[in-house]
Amino acid sequence: MNLQYKGINIFYTDNGQGNPVVFLHGFLENSTMWESFIPEFSKKNRIICIDLLGHGKTECLGYIHTMELMAEAVKYGLDYLNIKNSIFIGHSMGGYVALAFAENYPDYINRLCLMNSTPNADSNERKKNRDRAIIAVKNNYKAFVRIAIVNLFRPKNRKIFSEKINIIKEEALKTPVQGIIAALEGMKIRKDRTKFFKKARFKKLMIISKKDPVLDFELLIHQTQNTNINVVVFPDGHMSHVENEKLFLLKIAHFID
């Protein structure tokens, strides 16, 4: 379904009844990443999946999509649906957006799961990598997307999940160049929300993967010690919903119920 926001279309799906659970996809992904889980999760809950700015069927809103701008669009969608309090599940970039949402609209959130995501800002090296990625996108966005998707998986899983990886690539290639660059620019300048996340009173879960090619496993484990953040460690890469599908289903179902 679509709704109008600042002259653009925002796409979302709305399934089931009960406590609202908002699923936010990552960079180069869209709401279709959650499709196989909706039948199970919607048995007891109202499942909202939103295409973030410049991804999926949601259009671009300028040339820099900050996490705050994306969070504002999510809030507009929830207001449209008359949802005032939700559980949030954010994968990777979706986690950054969920954190921005939680900080700016604290009354709207009662639980938050960061799935292969981090409250940390980009390091200087990471920012340089974003700039290199922007150049690569401008030169050959199809090659960039294909390589970027493969690199999210644990090396040994790239052959095991080759069919699913091809499907994810096809979805990722639907992301317009403007949307890709705007997200890279937005992630590059995002705030560090480590202190906010640690102090936040809502229930928190982090899904951290041992072989995540994107995030520093040891750093995240260290940061969550002696905090009220619940941590679940998965054995594989950045794409927990594919690489550890059954475990993901079990842990998320427990978290939202």
Read off the pLDDT of residues 117-172 as tens digits, 9 standing for 90 and up: 999 999 999 999 999 999 999 999 999 999 999 999 999 999 999 999 999 999 99
The four Cα atoms 203, 56, 189, 110 give a dihedral, to 10 degrees, of -10
The pLDDT tens digits for 203-222 are: 999 999 999 999 999 999 99
The pLDDT tens digits for 53-105 are: 999 999 999 999 999 999 999 999 999 999 999 999 999 999 999 999 999 99
pLDDT at 257: 87
- Computed from CA positions of residues 238, 242, 244, 245, in that sequence, does the dihedral angle turn out positive or negative? positive
pLDDT at 126: 97
Q: Are 108 and 78 a contacting pair, CB within 8 Å?
A: yes
Q: Report which of 110, 106, 123, 127 is spatially closest to residue 205, judged by C-alpha positions.
A: 110
Cα gap 52→71, rounded to integer Å: 9
pLDDT higher than 90, residue 236: yes
The pLDDT tens digits for 7-30 are: 999 999 999 999 999 999 999 999
Question: What CATH fold (topology level) applies to the domain 2-256?
Answer: Rossmann fold (3.40.50)
pLDDT at 39: 97
